């Protein structure tokens, strides 16, 4: 693993095309070349930057200055072009792009309205009243991204309204009232329906509605729901529950496919043998044999004797920013190929559970010496990668990598970092509260993480790829 020097920046973001890295430094937005990290552009903001976001086409970048209720937009290819959106007393809680990169959606304080601004001179904003949330409850359809669905709440009732970008989102294409107190929503993978689910600690339901507002299917077999995580293609969804269970739902059949439990003995019994589950524990490495890392993964063979470290909470259960108790499954991350889901459990903060959805069982359990802070799956497009790989950061200054065929651990200059992969999977952005650095992970070189079945499958895949590459036209 190779690491760049530290930069005193915050809010680091790769451009979607992988060519640039943008970050904030007080009242400036600095854009760097993704390969050399040399400065390409510097944009000056009116106030300290709170958040930045690239447009989907990588041509524009916006910056939020929530104290002044202002959003500023700049063009990468034209340094003289800029845009300033001032919501005045309504303020700004979140700004985002539409899929066309030509509209900016701004959520105002107290959920007064969602303003949609078009990037053109003397444009007039379209206002969608009473959005329910600041950071969710807004979804564009998957196909052409022309239709915007907004989850709204007024008179103690949830509503969904759908708007068309062709008329600048100014009118409703259709709207309907929902049954319940919804946490979020998404379009079905084929855009034929909308899927909504209930808020935590309420009823545990997933509701499929037609575009005319008809309730098509209701799934309520999940246990007490805490949060839901759609897959990248929206064909699947995992429901994370307070009791530690993880339910896999199919968007095609609109039903529960499988249920997993964060219990090693149960997961091991479901696989039918120790060789099918890789339990890896972080151990100090031998400095004489491995000078590049202070730790290594040691595979545990006797799974019946393994004890997963647990954290006993105080008398009063802590809650998150939404007031939801921090109990059960904390995070679920999909791999880009949708083969794996990595999860964290509030009661086991040092452990990462990796579920193989293709085999319907636990693939690996990673045990660390300190609490896990961030997970990030790398894209499957890197030339040296034939499988998804997971980057993990903990409270220690180490970076962990896992894939179905190997692992790697390296010392890094930052601890407790947030992780974000570049779109080509060749570089990884690491950032803490005040600094950022870039890591080039390189290939994985340890294969003790792989089970015999996985090693055989990926050996065949490599052999097949070589045969195709060497075949005569």
Handedness of CA 453, 454, 459, 460 (dihedral sign): positive
- Please give the average per-residue pLDDT across 136-154, as a whole number: 96
Mean pLDDT check: name the lowest of 127-131, 322-326, 397-401, 469-473. Answer: 469-473
Predicted confidence at residue 468, as pLDDT, reads: 31
Mean pLDDT check: name the lowest of 248-257, 382-391, 409-418, 458-467. Answer: 458-467
CB-CB contact of 29 with 51 (8 Å): no
Indicate if the pLDDT at residue 384 is higher than 70. no
Give the residue with greater pLDDT, 23 vs 123.
23
- Please give the average per-residue pLDDT across 127-148, as a whole number: 96
Indicate if the pLDDT at residue 292 is higher than 70. no
Q: What is the pLDDT of residues 97-116, one digit of tens each?
A: 999 999 999 999 999 999 99
pLDDT confidence bin for 414, thresholds 50/70/90: very high
Cα Rg, the chain, nearest whole Å: 23
Q: What is the pLDDT of residues 5-25, one digit of tens each?
A: 999 999 999 999 999 999 999
Predicted confidence at residue 388, as pLDDT, reads: 83
Predicted confidence at residue 287, as pLDDT, reads: 57
CB-CB contact of 22 with 30 (8 Å): yes
Please report which helix (H) or strand (E) contains residue 146, including its range: none
pLDDT confidence bin for 400, thresholds 50/70/90: very high
pLDDT confidence bin for 189, thresholds 50/70/90: very high
pTM above 0.95, yes or no: no
> 473: Cβ–Cβ under 8 A, 6 or more apart, which residues?
none
- Please give the average per-residue pLDDT across 425-446, as a whole number: 88
pLDDT confidence bin for 473, thresholds 50/70/90: very low
Predicted confidence at residue 466, as pLDDT, reads: 40
**Separation of alpha carbons 337 and 353, rounded Å:** 17
Mean pLDDT check: name the lowest of 78-92, 223-237, 371-385, 405-419. Answer: 371-385
Closest CA to 445 of 392, 400, 407, 393: 407
Tokens read off for 366: 């990673």
Specify the residue for token string 């590049």: 292
C-alpha angle 1/449/444, rounded to 5°?
A: 25
CB-CB contact of 135 with 94 (8 Å): yes
Indicate if the pLDDT at residue 92 is higher than 80. yes
- Please give the average per-residue pLDDT across 150-158, as a whole number: 95
Predicted confidence at residue 123, as pLDDT, reads: 86
**Separation of alpha carbons 265 and 386, rounded Å:** 30
**Any idea how long the chain is?**
473
**Separation of alpha carbons 204 and 85, rounded Å:** 39
> Environment class of residue 316 by beta-carbon count within 10 Å: exposed (0-12), middle (13-18) or buried (19+)?
exposed
C-alpha angle 372/376/379, rounded to 5°?
A: 160
- For the chain, helix (H) and strand (E) counts, in that order, are 2, 38
Please report which helix (H) or strand (E) contains residue 159, including its range: strand 157-164
Predicted confidence at residue 272, as pLDDT, reads: 73
Bridge-based pairing of strands 361-367 and 278-284 is parallel
pLDDT confidence bin for 203, thresholds 50/70/90: confident
Give the residue with greater pLDDT, 262 vs 66.
262
DSSP helix/strand/coil, 389: coil
pLDDT confidence bin for 301, thresholds 50/70/90: confident
pLDDT confidence bin for 122, thresholds 50/70/90: confident
Torsion of the alpha carbons at 47, 48, 51 and 57, rounded to the nearest 10: 60
């Amino acid at each position: 693993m190779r690491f760049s020097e530290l930069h005193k920046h915050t809010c680091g973001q790769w451009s979607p095309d992988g060519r640039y890295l943008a970050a904030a430094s007080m009242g400036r937005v600095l854009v760097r070349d993704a390969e050399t990290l040399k400065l390409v552009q510097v944009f000056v903001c009116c106030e300290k930057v709170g958040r930045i976001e690239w447009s989907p086409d990588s041509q524009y970048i916006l910056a939020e200055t929530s104290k002044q209720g202002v959003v500023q937009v700049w063009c990468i290819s034209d340094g003289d072009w800029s845009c300033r959106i001032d919501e005045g007393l309504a303020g700004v809680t979140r700004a985002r792009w539409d899929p066309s990169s030509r509209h900016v959606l701004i959520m105002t304080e107290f959920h007064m309205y969602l303003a949609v601004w078009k990037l053109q001179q003397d444009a007039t904003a379209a206002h969608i009243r009473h959005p329910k949330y600041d950071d969710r409850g807004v979804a564009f359809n998957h196909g052409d991204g022309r239709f915007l669905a907004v989850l709204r709440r007024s008179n103690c009732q949830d509503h969904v309204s759908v708007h068309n970008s062709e008329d600048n989102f100014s009118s409703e294409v259709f709207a309907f009232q929902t049954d319940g107190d919804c946490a979020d929503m998404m379009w079905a993978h084929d855009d034929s329906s909308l899927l909504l689910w209930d808020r935590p600690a309420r009823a545990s339901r997933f509701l499929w509605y037609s575009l005319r507002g008809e309730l098509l299917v209701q799934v309520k077999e999940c246990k007490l729901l805490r949060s839901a995580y759609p897959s990248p293609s929206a064909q699947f969804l995992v429901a994370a529950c307070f009791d530690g269970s993880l339910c896999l739902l199919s968007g095609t059949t609109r039903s529960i496919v499988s249920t997993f439990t964060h219990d090693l003995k149960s997961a091991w019994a479901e696989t039918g043998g120790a060789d099918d589950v890789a339990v890896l524990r972080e151990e100090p490495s031998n400095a004489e044999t491995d000078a590049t890392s202070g730790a290594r993964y040691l595979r545990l063979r006797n799974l019946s004797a393994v004890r997963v470290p647990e954290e006993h909470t105080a008398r009063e259960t802590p809650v998150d920013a939404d007031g939801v108790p921090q109990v059960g499954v904390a995070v679920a991350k999909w791999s880009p190929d949708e083969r794996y889901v990595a999860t964290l459990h509030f009661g086991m903060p040092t452990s990462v559970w990796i579920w193989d959805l293709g085999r319907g069982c636990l693939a690996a359990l990673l045990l660390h010496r300190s609490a896990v802070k961030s997970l990030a799956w790398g894209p499957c497009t890197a030339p040296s990668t034939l499988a998804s790989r997971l980057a993990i950061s903990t409270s220690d200054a180490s970076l962990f990598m896992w894939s179905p065929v190997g692992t790697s651990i390296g010392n890094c200059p930052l601890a407790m970092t947030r992780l974000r992969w570049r779109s080509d999977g060749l570089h990884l952005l690491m950032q803490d509260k005040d600094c950022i650095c870039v890591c080039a992970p390189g290939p994985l070189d340890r294969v003790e993480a792989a089970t015999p079945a996985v090693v055989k499958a990926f050996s065949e895949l490599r052999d097949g790829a070589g045969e195709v590459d060497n075949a005569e036209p």
